[in-house]
Structure 1
Amino acid sequence: MKKKVLFVCLGNICRSPMAEAVFRHRVKEAGLDHAIEADSAGTGDWHIGHPPHEGTRAILDRHAISYEGMRARLVAEDDFETFDYIVCMDDSNLRNVRKLQPKAGQLRAKLYKFMDFVPESAVTDVPDPYFTGNFDEVYELVSVGCDKLLERIKADLAVAGR
């Protein structure tokens, strides 16, 4: 069974689609696209159906990373059954996703904060470039975090394969 990752930010046009695109790129480079899938969603509905923000698209273009077909959507309750990892870009997103989490039954998804995969970093939340304008900083954080997350999932796949 494929491991599935959902990246979550506020509007699903800057941070989470950047993480989705970078992560998909890393997964493909590792030859693991048969075993790992990624998606992204937001906790707010302002940008539903929109492509990633122009700043996200520009930095992904600079790094030759595809974002083709990506459109903003909301986190849904059934995402907790569809995904193995729901990775929130900051504390606020994590709190909002927890509010949506079904209370009953065994859930497939485990919730994480993105920067928890980079414990050596002094940064604990991925800043929102929609407000800061600093897409380069976000790309650097996302790049390191996606590498660490991929290492974690590869280890999880190895354990599951035993």
Structure 2
Amino acid sequence: MVSVLFVCLGNICRSPMAEAVMRQKVTELGLSSVISIDSAGTGDWHIGHQPHEGTRQLLDKRNISYQGQQARQIAAADFKQFTYIVCMDTSNERNVIAWEGSSTATGHVFTFMTLLPEEQIADVPDPYYTGNFEEVYRLVEAGCERLLQRIRVEHSL
């Protein structure tokens, strides 16, 4: 089983959006039995909350399910469980790598925007602060497509 964990700050905007988009892409290709998707935050402020209203509205508009998603904080077990740990920005990546230092990691940690080098930005903008959920969706949709291509090549799927 190939597993992907998307990580942002509070796990209510960017990472649950990426989780929902990636899960739909995986389902559409009939790969749900071999690729699992989840998301988490580096902070604990929103644990147990559903995705942000802006994320929910955007996903609803595109008929992308976020059913059952609840914010959670990244845990030491995640580094053993996930094949790919995809951080939505460089600050999240630093926090994840610092956290990872105290565990036995097998996950491959990288920032989401390394999937989209042509964008020439390091971080997926945080719509919690910018309010621009459409721009985040554009990046998430394109990046998830690239990640799925990478997974299919690397794991012969």
TM-score tier after normalising by the smaller chain length: over 0.9
- The question of whether the paired residues in 1 share the 8 Å contact of 2:4 and 2:37 is answered with yes
Does the C-alpha gap of structure 1 residues 59 and 104 become closer, same or farther in structure 2, counting only changes over 3 Å?
closer
Cα distance change of structure 1 residues 6 and 104 upon mapping to structure 2, 3 Å threshold = closer
Q: Distance in 1 between matches of 2:135 and 2:86?
A: 19
The reply on whether 1:150 has 2:148 as its aligned counterpart is: yes
| Contact residue 77 and residue 102 of structure 1 kept, 8 A | no
Residue 13 (structure 2) pairs with residue 22 (structure 1): no
Query: Are the structure 2 counterparts of residues 101 and 71 from structure 1 closer, same or farther at C-alpha, using a change threshold of 3 Å?
Result: same
Aligned to 2:111: 113
> Structure 2 vs 1, CA of residues 135 and 157 (structure 1 numbering), >3 Å: closer, same or farther?
same
- Normalization by structure 1: what TM-score? 0.94
TM norm structure 2: 0.97
Residue of structure 2 in register with 1:137 after alignment? 135
Runs of 4+ off more than 4 Å: none
Partner of 2:80: 81
8 Å Cα contact 2:85-2:108 kept in structure 1: yes
Distance 1:45 1:124, change over 3 A: same
Aligned pairs, how many?
157
Structure 1: gaps spanning 5 or more residues: none
RMSD of the alignment, in Å? Answer: 1.2
SS at match of 1:5: strand
**Alignment gaps of 5+ in structure 2:** none
